[in-house]
Amino acid sequence: KAGVTQTPRYLIKTRGQQVTLSCSPISGHRSVSWYQQTPGQGLQFLFEYFSETQRNKGNFPGRFSGRQFSNSRSEMNVSTLELGDSALYLCASSNGDVLPLYGYTFGSGTRLTVV
């Protein structure tokens, strides 16, 4: 079956702009989590959505937001981009009553460069 699909793969934006990233989970998966990966901070959790509801949120400013649609596809938005937002953004999908038991499948990521 198809894996987790993230679009676009690469993105270049200018400081102050906003950006929207998309994640399509594995068919049937209801949980989508987002992570930011940078050389300095490593992998950091942004937020998780389950059945269109945000269940968990990491320690990021309000410029970072997300949503999930009824088909489980998720988008994350970053407004007023800063140079420090340059990163690889990864999403992961999961399912089941206990997500860690089921495991998490990651997409290939979106590489965002802010100039």
**Binding stretches for other proteins (CB under 8 A):** 4, 6, 31-33, 35, 42-45, 48-50, 55-56, 58, 90, 92, 94, 97-101, 103-109, 111
> Checking phi first, is residue 16 left (phi over 0); if not, alpha (psi -120 to 50) or beta?
left
Q: How far is the CB of 32 from other proteins (least distance, A)?
A: 7
Nearer to other proteins, 86 or 104 (CB): 104
DSSP state at residue 25: P
Q: How far is the CB of 109 from other proteins (least distance, A)?
A: 5
Nearer to other proteins, 98 or 115 (CB): 98
Q: How far is the CB of 48 from other proteins (least distance, A)?
A: 3
